[in-house]
Structure 1
Amino acid sequence: MSSKFLPVLMIGGSGVVGSQAAKIIRRLQPTLPLAVGGRDLGRAEAVAREVGNAVGVSVDLERPDLGLGDELRFSAVVIFLKDEKLSSMRYAQHHGIPYISLSSGTFEVGPEMAQYIHAPDKAPILLASHWLAGAAVFPILEFAKAYTAIDRIRIGVLLDEQDMGGPAALADYNRITGFAPAALTVKDGRFRWAGGEDSKARYVSVDGVELDAVAYSPFDVMALAARTNAANIRLDLAYSESASRRRREPFSTEIVIEMAGRGRDGQPLDHRHEIVQPEGQAPLTALGIALAVERMLGLEGGDAPAPGLYLPEVLIDPAYYVRRMKEFGASFTERSMIAA
């Protein structure tokens, strides 16, 4: 039972995504204690009261002990913002507890990897900086079960202009789009960095409207290259108006996946999958982190992982992830791209 655990420390847990993640964890694991951490103790305590079986704590990323002293102990650390000093990761390693992060771009993963390499036996480290913490990569891996070979994976994601979320999400977006020299893609089996004109793309929304997009590189591309060996992989981001807002409804978030290759019968298989979360990006990101917490503590999908460096798709079953996405409101539509 999850009641045997110390609290999970959620740094940034009082923010837009963090607070939703706390609520989803509570729904999935009613007895798992939580520690909602943030700079504003009052906000953290308010979220903790709303979630239940939780406490609010003040966190200071400038201090090696995170400002928590020696008395508080936790079962895992989750951070919902960019920790530029890696204080939270070092804290988890020092205490030998799982660590989950979700705010790095592909081009800036080096410091976390180096920190792990210098202390490989201390703690399990999960790098979950995929699009919305896995909301694209897990469906793709589930769809991939229908293929014997995949030639192309094209991911289009739409982030509504009204759906950026809180300050941490905006800071991540500005940092990654502002400092990344180019976006990682796979073309003809080779890793390529798409910049300038090569980065420009068109995104076809779920209502057929075409929008400007640009190549973007969360961890999905490199993860899918390792897992599927697809010859061509690319993720494009459209930051624009969602189809639901064009219908004068609240914003939503969209993920469009186009996959081409050979099916189990040896025939060409070319499908377009459309995923829509009507409440926007935050619930999907929050769900991904909640499922990561479950897995890292051994509450779902097997025993807790040993110390090591992990990506979420190595640990979490795609079918389980997709089932949870549907339970929490995401809709899935599939269309064949092969002319009859």
Structure 2
Amino acid sequence: MSSKTRKTPTLLIVGGYGLVGTQVARMLRQRHPNLGIVLGGRTPERGAALAAAIGASTAAVDTGAEHPLASLPVRPTAVLAAASDPADHLLADAAARGLPIADINRGGHASVLDAAVAVTCASASAPVLLSGSWMAGVAALMAAAAVREHGEVSRLDITALASSDDEVGPDSKGFGQRLAWPYYPMRRGRRQAAHPLTGVRRVLCADGNERPAALVGTLEQITLPRTLGVPTVETRLALLDPASLYALIGLKRTGVLRALTRPVLHRVRSALLERPGTGDFAGITVTAEGPGRTVRVDVLDPAGQAHLSAVGAVCAAERVLGLAGHHLPPGLSFPEQSADPRADVATLRAAGVIVRQSGFAAEPTPTHQRDIEVLAS
């Protein structure tokens, strides 16, 4: 292998031709024309058209196999897991081979614990970035920006704005299952059990409208208290149509959501939670409170939650590749630990995402006419 070839990084995107993976691959090609991109999955022929369009290649990668990376013809520089890895085979295999990996699908307490055990057993010598917080780490990155700006935060409130008609792929089933079971956020510095779809209150969403929002279990509630030192972190979900949120709450209270987690009802759950949708816009609001001051970040993506997740995944991929000045340490880390607020906001805006910052020293954030029209619609 020539020195020129060695200097050209290659990213393996497992799930690279899926709903989010496709958008990640296209964005990375635009941002890094010389980056080698390999689209991996169980049926690589499904990624052939995309690979031809962006100058990538395909490879067979089955996360159900004990060693998913064993048959790769060429060793990649890093791996992005954009598909679920329920048995930790991909994570453990990458760690054992010394390959940097970013995973955007681990959003629950148990899955992070499993990952920590898998990485420890594999004696990871390369970075393992768990970027499964809301929208593939976007919520965590914006939380880090707010905390860094404020300086002394006692409470973080995160509101995720979603549409019941947005595009949702098969790997969303993990979030749907977590709606049925307790999770363990940090409140006032202590880990406590909480129940999804409770604690409803009205919140001001990223689009400027007030809506009811209910508690949901997300990864950033597990990590931010430790990584950023914030005693209380709560994440709530608001839907564009409040009636859809109350319908979910009704399914939870009647036990239907928990019943749908049974394997025998997998097809029913998929029909409810997986859909092509229209790609309605998605939003995130982060509010950081502390003595005498509140700062706020609003993120609004007119292209929907799959697109916003793809932007978060791009940030994660660039970190494990060591691009744009990022150098992650070996072992486990989370997005907020390598946050670069100025660069992260620039990446979001370059992808067409609206970012507004309130209470920042450099405010007001410039707001273009297109942003005003989207926020007012």
- Give the TM bin, normalised by the shorter chain: 0.7 to 0.9
Instruction: Report if the CA contact (8 A) 1:185-1:235 is conserved.
Output: no
Instruction: Report if the CA contact (8 A) 1:92-1:99 is conserved.
Output: yes
2:348 corresponds to 1:325 = yes
Q: Which amino acid aligns with 2:77?
A: S
The aligned residue for residue 278 of structure 1 is 302
Q: Shift of the alpha carbon at 1:253? A: 0.4
Number of equivalenced pairs: 320
Deviations 1:175-217 (A, max 9, x none): 2223xx3233332222222227854444433455443432122
Q: Which amino acid aligns with 2:352?
A: G
Gap change, CA 1:148 and 1:83, over 3 Å in 2: closer
2:113 corresponds to 1:90 = no
Gap change, CA 1:316 and 1:9, over 3 Å in 2: same
Distance across 1 between alignment mates of 2:96 and 2:228: 35
Instruction: Report if the CA contact (8 A) 1:2-1:29 is conserved.
Output: no
2:285 pairs, out of 241, 250, 256, with 256
2:104 pairs, out of 102, 105, 114, with 102
Q: Shift of the alpha carbon at 1:235? A: 0.3
Distance across 2 between alignment mates of 1:127 and 1:206: 25
Instruction: Report if the CA contact (8 A) 1:104-1:218 is conserved.
Output: no
Q: Shift of the alpha carbon at 1:333? A: 3.1
Matched ranges for 1:219-298 at <5 A: 219-241=219-241, 251-262=280-291, 268-298=292-322
Q: Which amino acid aligns with 2:171?
A: A
Q: Which amino acid aligns with 1:321?
A: D
Gap change, CA 1:201 and 1:80, over 3 Å in 2: farther
Gap change, CA 1:223 and 1:2, over 3 Å in 2: farther
- SS of the residue corresponding to residue 133 of structure 1 reads coil
Q: Shift of the alpha carbon at 1:335? A: 5.0
Q: Which amino acid aligns with 1:300?
A: A
Q: Shift of the alpha carbon at 1:328? A: 1.3
Question: Which range is displaced more, 324-333 or 201-210?
Answer: 201-210
The aligned residue for residue 73 of structure 1 is 75
Q: Which amino acid aligns with 2:147?
A: A
- SS of the residue corresponding to residue 150 of structure 1 reads coil
Instruction: Report if the CA contact (8 A) 2:131-2:335 is conserved.
Output: yes
Distance across 1 between alignment mates of 2:149 and 2:69: 50
The aligned residue for residue 10 of structure 1 is 13
1:116 pairs, out of 111, 116, 119, with 119
2:43 corresponds to 1:40 = yes
- SS of the residue corresponding to residue 194 of structure 1 reads coil
The aligned residue for residue 138 of structure 1 is 141
Instruction: Report if the CA contact (8 A) 2:13-2:82 is conserved.
Output: yes
Q: Which amino acid aligns with 1:144?
A: V
Q: Unpaired runs of 5+ in structure 2? A: 243-277, 360-377
Gap change, CA 1:222 and 1:63, over 3 Å in 2: closer
The aligned residue for residue 30 of structure 1 is 33
Q: Name the TM-score, length of structure 1 as normaliser.
A: 0.84
Distance across 2 between alignment mates of 1:70 and 1:82: 19
Instruction: Report if the CA contact (8 A) 1:17-1:285 is conserved.
Output: yes
Distance across 1 between alignment mates of 2:189 and 2:37: 43
Q: Which has the higher strand share?
A: 1
- SS of the residue corresponding to residue 65 of structure 2 reads coil
2:169 corresponds to 1:166 = yes
Question: Which range is displaced more, 195-204 or 110-119?
Answer: 195-204
The aligned residue for residue 246 of structure 1 is none
Distance across 1 between alignment mates of 2:297 and 2:96: 43
Instruction: Report if the CA contact (8 A) 2:158-2:286 is conserved.
Output: yes
The aligned residue for residue 323 of structure 2 is 299
Q: Which amino acid aligns with 1:254?
A: G
Distance across 2 between alignment mates of 1:250 and 1:44: 21
Distance across 2 between alignment mates of 1:311 and 1:65: 24
Q: Which amino acid aligns with 1:307?
A: P
Distance across 2 between alignment mates of 1:306 and 1:188: 30
Instruction: Report if the CA contact (8 A) 1:62-1:87 is conserved.
Output: yes
- SS of the residue corresponding to residue 89 of structure 1 reads helix
Gap change, CA 1:3 and 1:202, over 3 Å in 2: farther
1:58 pairs, out of 60, 64, 72, with 60
Deviations 1:38-76 (A, max 9, x none): 223222111111222x10222222323427626332222
- State the identity as a percent: 26
Q: Which amino acid aligns with 1:58?
A: A
Instruction: Report if the CA contact (8 A) 2:79-2:102 is conserved.
Output: yes
